[in-house]
Structure 1
Amino acid sequence: MDSVVRLAQQLIRRPSRGGIDDYGPVLSVLEDWLTTRALPHRRLYDDGTVVGLLVEVAGGLSGPWWALNACVDTAPYGDEAAWSFPPDQGDVVDGWLRGRGAADSKLAAAMFCGIAAELLGRSFPGGLAVLLDVDEHTGGFGGARAYLADPAAVRPAGMMIGYPGLDEVVVGGRGFWRATVAVHAAAGHSGSRRTTPGAVSRAARLVGLLEEAELPGADAEFPLPPKLTVTSVHGGEGFSVVPDLCEVGVDVRTTPGFGAGAAEALVRAAAAELDARVPVPRPTVVSPVASWPPFRLAEDEQPAAALLDAAGREGLTVRAKTAGPSNIGNLLAAEGIPATAGFGVRYEGLHGTDERARLADLPVVHAVYRRAVLDLLGQRLSRRTCSSRS
């Protein structure tokens, strides 16, 4: 595992905070590593902006392609004064790899590159793609979008995403439907005799209606219920003006039984009720912003079956989990591509202070992913080959 850890350390030492840092340095580290090993790779772009790196290893025989994915952009550092070591430290202390991205997900990126290197030059059905995304923490997922839109890339039959966590294989997640709701009123002076509420007051009533709305519970087909959250309220300025506009952000986490259509209907019904109770000349406007579907793989569906089986054969007890937050698996589900979205080393401080990843877990996590990939590709390689190339 030494070369994997060394590569991960180099990646951590190249700051790549989503939407903040230049991604060139961190991608250059990967490109140097891949070039040295003659692994085919190329950058992915969206409107001229680099959004990822794609590694492609063809087996030379007819068959489906499978993909591994790990992001190499990271969350921001937050309060650097609260860290007990520099966020770009990239050292190993007491068996922990330390620094932003150690857990999410530069160690996984290095590990996946190692698996691709092992397959190079061998004959097998289909191929393996490794997507190294640098537009993940922005929420844009530009790397995945560019990969799926690239006419030169073979569309994968499924993808395994290397989010960390040793006890679970994430096989599903709630979707979401998001909207901005514009609440209107007549502008005026706060000291006037008028008694009609302003836009902020009307928005407060809308928030109450939304939070009181009844949502269905979980069912046998999907273990989590839908959830509605008011995430932002923006309106008004100063003290002497009655505001004529207040915008409310609404995030609805969806399930197969309560999808985007149901979420939109609920929010529009609340807006209509507000306008009926507190009428103004201009109606409330609901503007959908984004929507992803929920997804859930059965445990016998690929690639979930291969990953769960590999974990069991490596002596781990893991459970299939449906996650509350959405992830890149939802984007893939919208494209008809099944995905797992989490299995990796144990960690601390993910997206927070003093992020670190437990290196003692790396050999077994590597073995699980390696076994799963080889099973999907119809391959069998010796453990000795794995260790000599790591």
Structure 2
Amino acid sequence: MKKDLVAHAATRSASVVGLAQKLIRRPSRGGIDDYGPVLGVLEGWLSGQGLPHRRLHDRRGDLVGLLVEIVGGRPGPWWTLDACVDTAPFGDEEAWSFPPTAGDVVGGFLRGRGSADSKLAASVFCHLAADLLPSAAGLRGGLSVLLDVDEHTGGFGGARAFLEDSQAVTPAGVMIGYPGMDDVVVGGRGLWRATLTVTADSGHSGSSRTVLGAVSRAARLVQLLDAADLPGAPEAGALFSLPPKVSVTAVHGGEGFSVTADRCDVNVDVRTTPAFDARDAETLVRGAATTLDAELPGPTATRVTPVASWPPFQLQPHEQPAAAVLDAAASLGITVQPKTAGPSNIGNMLAGHGISAIAGFGVPYVGLHGIDERASLAELPEVYAVYLRAVRSLMDAH
């Protein structure tokens, strides 16, 4: 069984790489490039395989992804494979040793922006859907493949459109095709973000009277936030092993030199955990604002404007779809550890909708979001085999 699965995966590798190369050669930088060409490559391939698919649009009518849907012949839950086909920007192209849209294979690596994150995964998932289509009548539930864009902008337009689509079945779980073979991300810190508006009386910087400007008041607010009392790291061995974190990420206020600012905006990012949630984060930040106004009164109270909130999420290794991927890897002799991630990802958004998600099982990589991005191909058959076995186990297809 193991040999047959890996052998089949190996026979698919050339086609998987070929489609990924075409995708890499269509630039699709988030918020920069037109997504039509890269999605057009996928549409052409899916049509050639007879795979049912349709476009997804956001509320403004913008194209934000493709959705492939395979309906099983037996009742059961649906599962989703998700891979983004937009990418990070190229950065300094002169620093690259090859063109960011090379899409070639050199030294066992597929090269170019999106090779690691996540055009190779998108190709893998399309091929998995093609493998399952002939046996659809024997599947339980269904499988959707979400090929989304607007991911690297942070807007997650494709995923949002999928969740809002009245024709789509809400999945029991989502497997997100981020790269890396050592870990499966089964949890992540959430976030709570806000902009704090600090005010003051404006005045001439050379005035004989003391004028405490908004920038100075904001500096004290930053000190209060940096010194905030947070819970420490969980005990050793805890699955959710990361503590909460507060970061001041931007300060905007003032202009020139001769006037003390009457307004300063401070951006605050709080990473939340099951033990320190969004309510705790808001209480902490509002408390810092109240302390500032008591210590250094201004003309108006410091205003706190929440801008985003995602819950932390955490799956146990025995919960699906984590168990399916971990078990499939173990059955093929691949050691993979469950991991809780510090940064948030699309899994947090899905958790907010009550959908279980995992991320981060794919081929090894170099230069993700950086210079000379490339993905290792030696491990591709194993990665393919793990996902094929995992999906089959979830849908009871033998």
Q: Deviations over 1:327-352 (max 9, x none)?
A: 00000100000010111000000000
Tell me what 2:29 maps to.
17
- Unaligned runs of 5+ residues in structure 2 are 1-12
Shift in Å at residue 221 of structure 1?
A: 5.9
Q: Distance in 2 between matches of 1:361 and 1:173?
A: 26
Q: What amino acid is the match of 1:228?
A: V
Match of 2:85 among 72, 82, 85: 72
What percentage of aligned pairs have identical amino acids?
A: 70
2:110 is aligned with 1:97: yes
Q: Deviations over 1:195-246 (max 9, x none)?
A: 1310001101100000001110132462100000000000000001110000
Q: Distance in 2 between matches of 1:134 and 1:21?
A: 11
Residue pairs, 1:299-338, within 5 angstroms: 299-338=317-356
Q: Distance in 2 between matches of 1:221 and 1:34?
A: 39
Give the secondary structure class of the aligned counterpart of 2:379: helix
Tell me what 2:298 maps to.
280
Tell me what 2:375 maps to.
357
Give the secondary structure class of the aligned counterpart of 1:224: coil
Q: What amino acid is the match of 1:14?
A: R
Residue pairs, 1:3-82, within 5 angstroms: 3-46=15-58, 47-82=60-95
Shift in Å at residue 121 of structure 1?
A: 2.9
Q: Distance in 2 between matches of 1:133 and 1:194?
A: 57
Q: Distance in 2 between matches of 1:178 and 1:341?
A: 23
Shift in Å at residue 312 of structure 1?
A: 0.5
Give the secondary structure class of the aligned counterpart of 1:121: helix
Q: What amino acid is the match of 1:92?
A: V
How many residue pairs get aligned? The number is: 380
- Unaligned runs of 5+ residues in structure 1 are 381-390
Q: What amino acid is the match of 2:385?
A: A
Tell me what 1:216 maps to.
231
Residue pairs, 1:65-144, within 5 angstroms: 65-122=78-135, 123=137, 124-144=139-159
Q: Deviations over 1:253-283 (max 9, x none)?
A: 0001100000011010001101000011211
CA contact (8 A) 2:239 2:340 kept: no
Q: Distance in 1 between matches of 2:40 and 2:394?
A: 30
Shift in Å at residue 61 of structure 1?
A: 1.7
Q: Distance in 2 between matches of 1:204 and 1:98?
A: 45
What is the TM-score with the length of structure 2 in the denominator?
A: 0.95
Q: What amino acid is the match of 2:205?
A: S
- RMSD across aligned positions (CA): 0.7
2:309 is aligned with 1:291: yes
Q: What amino acid is the match of 1:365?
A: V
Give the secondary structure class of the aligned counterpart of 2:284: helix
Q: What amino acid is the match of 2:94?
A: A
Q: Deviations over 1:276-298 (max 9, x none)?
A: 00011211101000000000100
Residue pairs, 1:260-279, within 5 angstroms: 260-279=278-297
Shift >6 Å, 4+ stretches: none
Give the secondary structure class of the aligned counterpart of 1:43: strand
